[in-house]
Amino acid sequence: MIDEVDRKILSILCENAKIPIRELAKRVGVSIGTAHNKIKRLEKEGYISSYRAIVNWAKAGYTITAIIEVVISGGKLLELEKMISEFPNVLSVYDVTGESDVILIAKFKSHDELSSFTKTLLSLEHVERTNTHIVLTTVKEGSCMSPSI
């Protein structure tokens, strides 16, 4: 179980995982030792699973975001999800309910790259069909939210 101080720590780390422990402790209103111990406990208990850089994909040339629905047959869902998750352009893979089995989010530098990726997906055994949505405008993108755990 986490408390209000833990929630504040998670929120601050989500905004900036490189914040100095001294500054984090000051913003939360606890000692440096308390902040350090709380972070270590949050890591140990799995509330914090890793630290990552947030990449500006558009600046890196990946200006196309695609949300792709995939229908898979033959009981090979888990195997194909794992395979798809290893493609370099794929950011997220979701096992979902509904008409599709999988939804994935991927980034591309060009329409040709997206086209090639889609054809590769469709060539995989047990992939029945795909439905691709191209994002026109990104309103919000990220992996952080204010926790109310």
Q: d(Cα 38, Cα 40) in Å, to the nearest integer?
A: 5
Q: d(Cα 122, Cα 36) in Å, to the nearest integer?
A: 48
Q: What is the pLDDT of residues 69-93, one digit of tens each?
A: 999 998 899 999 999 999 999 999 9
Query: 68, 132 in Cβ contact below 8 A?
Result: yes
**Sequence-distant (≥ 6) Cβ neighbours of residue 52 within 8 angstroms:** 17, 143
Q: Mean pLDDT over residues 30-43, rounded?
A: 97
Average model confidence (pLDDT) across the chain:
94
Query: 93, 84 in Cβ contact below 8 A?
Result: yes
121 lies in some domain: yes
Q: Mean pLDDT over residues 1-17, rounded?
A: 92
Whole domain around residue 23: which residue ranges? 4-44
Q: pLDDT band for 107, please (50, 70, 90 cuts).
A: very high
Give the CATH number for residue 72: 3.30.70.920
Residue 108 amino acid letter: F
The alpha carbon of 99 is separated from its chain's Cα centroid by a whole number of angstroms, namely 23
Q: Residue 146 has what pLDDT?
A: 66
- In terms of domains, do 40 and 96 share one? no
Q: d(Cα 148, Cα 112) in Å, to the nearest integer?
A: 42
Nearest to 118 by CA among 77, 64, 60: 64
